[in-house]
Structure 1
Amino acid sequence: MARTHGTGVRKVRLWRWRRNPLRRRSDLVEAWVLLAVLVLTLSAAVLVGLAAAAAVDDSLAERRDRTRTVPAVLVEDAAHAAPASVSENGDGAVWAPVRWTAPDGTDRTGRTEVEPGNRAGTAVTVWTDPGGRLVPPPPGGAEARFQIVMAGVTTGVAVAGLGLLGGRLVRSRLQRRRLGEWEAEWRLVEPSWRKRMTG
């Protein structure tokens, strides 16, 4: 709602909460609905975001518990290996074949990222699962914190967006209803106005 002040227009804040002859019951309902949507949306966004962050943290912790480092040996010179398309460490690592011993005592071979200057026979460390298969190293430190924070923020923002969208839909329905009420009242009042204008 706005009030004229001189040549300008001044908005009256929180007019739906103030008693005035122009305020309708639907205006007050809309104000309460918007407040409830805002409070519930912010609360849900925070709670769901924290839950998502905790779930990712638990998942990473479980992944760390299920993997272990084992010593391995380069099978051939890393200088002849193909460069890794995406190196997790960003250090120009290359893919090279390595050999390690599984928990059951059998020798295994596979490819992992190593430094490009390593020669055959160089000792390296690889990550394996309980079955002795090569797996990527679990995120730790800053990378793990980044994944946890991003999971919480992304989920919280998504929940907040859905809540605000729902609030807008409810508000648009209330506005359509209010316009309908205004039109119905105008149809009742308009004949008397016409009489006054023509009288």
Structure 2
Amino acid sequence: MRGAQGARQWCWRWRRNPLRRRDDVFEAWIVLIVWTVMVLGGTVAGLVTAHAAEASFTRLRHDRHAVPAVLVVGTGSAVPAGESAVYDHVRATVRWTASDGSPRVGSALVESGHKAGSHVMIWLDARDLPTTAPPTGSAAATESSLLGVGAGMALGGLVFGFGGLVRWRLDQRRYDRWEREWERLGPQWGHKTP
């Protein structure tokens, strides 16, 4: 019996009631639509975003490749690539052979602690230019998941905010109507009945 009573209280805006206003029914539909879009739309947005990010990371792993290079300058005098001192890669000048066989010289991220003339591995993009290493499979999966969750939450937050704005506007209309009714009926209550 308690479940039926709870359901009646939960769906009170749809039940016939002499005190129910059109705004109450409209608000009930707005709440239902907002929650449906938040749950279903947020899920779809999250899944689509995660899938697109995973595809992008897969494309990066496919386009980038590692090649051997020789350090032109030792990494002891190179500028650290990261903000913190614990970052183990530095930007250094290296020499490598491009896929067309031509020698190239440029700046790339390499492991620190090597002397000039040391052999290191660098990552190149599809145009044979130095770039960063692509994300590993687990890092890509984690980042894709986080991006998907963020996209779902962002859509849910926008929809929830829009629904809150509509409900706030409905409350303002109700307050205006109550004020007009009070102005009309309030003075009648000030007189004493004989």
TM-score by length of 1: 0.78
Q: Please tell me whether residue 53 in structure 1 is matched to residue 42 in structure 2.
A: no
What residue number does 2:4 align with? none
Kept after mapping to 2: 8 A contact 1:93/1:114: yes
Structure 1 portions without partners, runs of 5+: 1-11
Match of 2:130 in 1: 134
Listed one character per residue, the Cα deviations across residues 55-109 of structure 1 (whole Å, up to 9, x for unaligned) are: 111111112222211111222332333333348xx54222222111111111011
Take 1:122 and 1:86, find their aligned partners in 2: how far apart are those partners?
25
SS at match of 1:198: coil
Structure 2 unaligned spans of 5+ = 1-8
Give 1:19 deviation, angstroms.
4.6
Q: Distance in 1 between matches of 2:64 and 2:31?
A: 49
Summarize the Cα distance change of 1:18–1:129 in structure 2 as closer, same or farther, 3 Å threshold: same
Match of 1:70 among 50, 67, 70: 67
- Which residue in the other structure is 1:29 paired with? 26
| Partner Cα separation in structure 2 for residue 133 and residue 66 of structure 1 | 11
Matched, 1:143 2:156: no
Contact 1:103 1:131 in 2 (8 A): no
Q: Partner residue of 1:156?
A: 152
Q: Secondary structure at the match of 1:16?
A: coil
Residue type of the partner of 1:198?
T
Change (3 A) 1:194 1:84: closer
Instruction: Say if 1:115 and 1:40 are closer, same or farther in 2 by CA, change over 3 A.
Output: closer
Question: Hey, what does 1:107 align to over in structure 2?
Answer: 103
| CA deviation after TM superposition for structure 1 residue 45, in Å | 1.5
Contact 1:102–1:131 (8 Å) recurs in 2: no
- The residue type paired with residue 84 of structure 1 is A
Change (3 A) 1:184 1:91: closer
1:44 is aligned to: 41
CA distance in structure 1 between the aligned counterparts of 2:37 and 2:81, rounded to whole angstroms: 47
User: What is the alpha-carbon distance in structure 1 between the residues aligned to residue 176 and residue 75 of structure 2?
Assistant: 76
Q: In structure 1, what is the equivalent of residue 163 of structure 2?
A: 167
Q: Out of 87, 91, 94, which is 1:95 matched to?
A: 91
Confirm whether residue 198 of structure 1 aligns to residue 193 of structure 2.
yes
**Mapped contact 1:37–1:164 kept (Cα < 8 A):** yes
Provide the rounded CA distance (Å) in 2 between the counterparts of 1:105 and 1:135. Answer: 19
Separation in structure 2 between the aligned mates of residue 110 and residue 133 of structure 1, nearest angstrom = 8
Which amino acid in structure 2 is aligned with residue 83 of structure 1?
Answer: P
- Match for 2:76 among 71, 79, 83? 79
The alignment of Structure 1 onto Structure 2 pairs a total of residues equal to: 185
Q: Match of 1:137, SS? A: coil
In 1, distance between residues paired with 2:125 and 2:65? 7
